[in-house]
């Protein structure tokens, strides 16, 4: 997985003349169009998977089997095996739904918004970030379906003419979720697949096996890299980016309406939409870093996913972390400013009630820990950033847990107060969806290029003009017609 000797030599020579305070490059110098294509495509076509891939796939597959067993028990015995009760009718299922949807936000942001803003550093991470979005949405979609109790009637939420005269309640934010999440998943899938087409043609042309040529050929849909193909591709890709950009704002805004339109103390606040969107980007980038750091280490991709990428992602996490901190402050201020005793009590209960440890843990993980990223050393050191991102993901899960549970378990009437704790089935469901997410990711890494080949080839020419050097003369965008 290491680059050729001449690439490493040129990179070392370049670094020796680089000013010490210069920003790291987006692509390490010394690469040509051929070396970029060879390195990325070889991960899928020729290089055997590393041992860590087999180990990770085995662990994730075991967790998927746990998920299947949990779902079987749930369908056989009912949702009562979960810890949900009265007054806490929402529990781990909604907590995990919001958490997974938030994780998927970074893929859409990197793919669409950074593309429209012409940020070239997105190129090395957009492909697996987009895949991460699809896998996260798949995990998130399981929870509301299974929470229905009768998931085989899920189509009742879809407005279609039917003989039963049954129509969804359009004033329900749960129906809004169906529209928002299904649109989000559809556009994200299209955007991901359209971006893959030129690379699928490259794998088709380079595959040594007949089956590989057939499968990649069908998926490439006759791509030959002609000028007409590129024109239509760039038009479609730009249109999809334009469609996906509002989704970054709209999807988690709609998810926040699940809470904000209710009268429950702790939920009924107008700060939730921007607060949820910032939190989604915050946790989404934390998950991208959580995946990027091991991938660049295991597959030797330090020359593609450079310190520049880690630094930029850390800066985005730091900025969105401050927006999330502002949301916490506004929640506290509005609960006092409202003059409503139930609203005031919700804040006191979060700080000093039975769930106080989770509340202070989320403040530590989401406010205190991100401040480490003011240090450039932390931002550019992979293992440090990995630990920070893990703690942020833990903190964001705790945040969703506090929002859902502490607002429900003690509301207006003390006579209806109660406690909530997740059962072993709640935890097995959560662990199983993590396994499903990782299993899909491992399969993706084995069958498809985790980094966009043709977009990385365009960076070769840009880096050549910036840093000097040479490149071969083939078309940087993909295979010739």
Preceding omega of 441 cis (within 30 degrees of 0): no
Residue 253 and residue 268: Cα distance in Å, rounded?
Answer: 14
* Residue whose token pair is 């007949």: 210
Helix (H, G, I), strand (E, B) or coil at 333: helix
pLDDT of residue 172: 86
> pLDDT, tens digit, for every residue of 193-221?
999 999 999 999 999 889 999 999 999 99
Residue 6: Cβ within 10 Å count? 11
Q: Tokens standing for 441?
A: 């990711």
> pLDDT, tens digit, for every residue of 59-113?
999 999 999 999 999 999 999 899 998 889 888 999 999 999 999 888 888 888 8
CA torsion angle 344 346 350 354 (round to 10): 120
List CB contacts of 466: < 8 A, sequence separation 6 or more. 25
Residue 39 and residue 78: Cα distance in Å, rounded?
Answer: 50
Percent of the chain with pLDDT over 90: 58
Asked if 449 contacts 199 with a C-beta cutoff of 8 angstroms, the reply is yes
C-alpha angle 286/103/156, rounded to 5°?
A: 175
* Residue whose token pair is 């059962």: 423
Residue 443 has pLDDT above 50, yes or no: yes
Closest to 1 measured CA to CA, from 310, 296, 308: 296
> pLDDT, tens digit, for every residue of 367-400?
999 999 999 999 999 999 999 999 999 999 999 9
DSSP state of 266: T
Residue 143 and residue 140: Cα distance in Å, rounded?
Answer: 6
Closest to 315 measured CA to CA, from 23, 115, 102, 104: 23
DSSP string, 57-111: HHHHHHHHHHHHHHHHHHHHH-GGGSS--SS----HHHHHHHHHHHHTHHHHIII
DSSP string, 281-330: HHHHHHHHHHHHHHHHHHTT-TTTS-HHHHHHHHHHHHHHHHHHHHHHHH
* Residue whose token pair is 């750091």: 293
* Residue whose token pair is 């506090």: 402
List CB contacts of 133: < 8 A, sequence separation 6 or more. 104, 105, 106, 107, 108, 111, 188, 192
Preceding omega of 397 cis (within 30 degrees of 0): no
Task: Specify the CATH number for 22-467; select among 1.20.58.340, 3.40.50.300, 1.10.3720.10, 1.20.1630.10.
Answer: 1.20.1630.10
List CB contacts of 263: < 8 A, sequence separation 6 or more. none
List CB contacts of 13: < 8 A, sequence separation 6 or more. none
pLDDT of residue 21: 62
DSSP state of 156: G
Q: Poorest-confidence range of 109-113, 405-409, 470-474?
A: 470-474
Q: Where are the domains of the chain?
A: 22-467
Residue 471 has pLDDT above 70, yes or no: no
Residue 325 has pLDDT above 90, yes or no: yes
* Residue whose token pair is 């997974």: 100
For range 399-427, the mean pLDDT: 90
Residue 344 and residue 264: Cα distance in Å, rounded?
Answer: 12
pLDDT of residue 239: 92
* Residue whose token pair is 């998920």: 67
pLDDT of residue 476: 47
pLDDT of residue 465: 60
Closest to 27 measured CA to CA, from 5, 10, 41, 42: 10
Q: How many helices (H) and strands (E) does the chain have?
A: 18, 0
Strands, E, within 212-275: which ranges?
Answer: none
> pLDDT, tens digit, for every residue of 22-65?
677 788 888 888 888 899 999 999 888 999 999 999 999 999 99
Predicted TM-score (pTM) of the model is: 0.89
Type and span of the H or E element at 366:
none
Residue 9: Cβ within 10 Å count? 12
Phi-psi region of 31 (alpha: psi -120 to 50; beta: other; left: phi over 0): beta
pLDDT range class, residue 467, cuts 50, 70, 90: low
Phi-psi region of 113 (alpha: psi -120 to 50; beta: other; left: phi over 0): alpha
Residue 6 and residue 296: Cα distance in Å, rounded?
Answer: 20
For range 165-185, the mean pLDDT: 87
Q: Tokens standing for 117?
A: 């803003």
Residue 239 and residue 434: Cα distance in Å, rounded?
Answer: 32
Mean model confidence pLDDT for the chain: 87
Say how many CA atoms lie within 13 Å of 240 toward its Cβ: 21
């Amino acid at each position: 997985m290491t680059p050729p000797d001449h690439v490493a030599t040129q990179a070392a020579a370049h670094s020796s003349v680089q000013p010490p305070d210069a920003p790291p490059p987006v692509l390490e110098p010394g690469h040509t169009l051929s070396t970029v294509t060879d390195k990325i495509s070889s991960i899928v076509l020729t290089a055997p998977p590393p041992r860590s891939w087999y180990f990770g796939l085995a662990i994730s597959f075991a967790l998927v089997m746990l998920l299947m067993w949990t779902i079987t028990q749930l369908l056989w015995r009912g949702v009562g095996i979960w810890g949900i009760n009265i007054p806490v009718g929402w529990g781990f299922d909604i907590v995990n739904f919001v958490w997974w949807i938030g994780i998927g936000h970074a893929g859409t942001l990197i793919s669409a918004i950074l593309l429209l803003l012409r940020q070239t550093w997105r190129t090395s991470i957009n492909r697996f970030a987009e895949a991460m979005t699809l896998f996260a949405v798949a995990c998130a979609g399981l929870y509301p379906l299974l929470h229905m109790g009768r998931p085989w009637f899920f189509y009742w939420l879809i407005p279609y003419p039917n003989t039963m005269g049954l129509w969804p309640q359009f004033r329900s934010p749960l129906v809004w979720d169906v529209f928002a999440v299904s649109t989000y998943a559809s556009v994200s899938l299209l955007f991901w697949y359209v971006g893959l087409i030129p690379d699928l043609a490259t794998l088709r042309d380079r595959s040594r096996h007949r089956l590989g040529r057939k499968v990649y050929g069908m998926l490439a849909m006759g791509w030959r890299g002609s000028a007409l193909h590129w024109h239509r591709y760039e038009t479609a890709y730009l249109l999809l980016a334009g469609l996906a950009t509002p989704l970054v704002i709209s999807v988690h805004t709609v998810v926040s309406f699940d809470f904000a339109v209710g009268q429950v103390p702790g939920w009924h606040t107008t700060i939730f939409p921007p607060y949820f969107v910032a939190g989604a980007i915050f946790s989404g980038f934390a998950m991208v870093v959580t995946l990027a750091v091991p991938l660049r280490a295991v597959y030797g991709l330090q020359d593609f996913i450079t310190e520049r990428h880690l630094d930029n992602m850390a800066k985005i996490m730091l900025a969105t972390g401050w927006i999330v901190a502002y949301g916490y402050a506004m929640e506290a201020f509005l609960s006092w400013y409202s003059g409503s005793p139930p609203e005031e009590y919700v804040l006191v209960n979060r700080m000093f009630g039975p769930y106080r440890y989770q509340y202070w843990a989320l403040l530590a993980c989401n406010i205190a820990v991100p401040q480490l990223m003011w240090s450039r050393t932390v931002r550019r050191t992979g293992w440090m950033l990995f630990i920070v991102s893990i703690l942020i993901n833990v903190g964001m899960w705790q945040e969703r847990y506090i929002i859902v549970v502490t607002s429900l378990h003690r509301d207006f009437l003390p006579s209806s107060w109660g406690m909530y704790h997740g059962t072993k089935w709640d935890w097995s469901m959560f662990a199983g969806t993590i396994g499903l997410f990782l299993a899909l990711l491992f399969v993706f890494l084995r069958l498809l290029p985790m980094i966009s080949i043709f977009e990385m080839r365009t960076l070769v020419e840009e880096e050549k003009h910036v840093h000097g050097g040479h490149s071969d003369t083939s078309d940087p965008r993909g295979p010739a017609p």
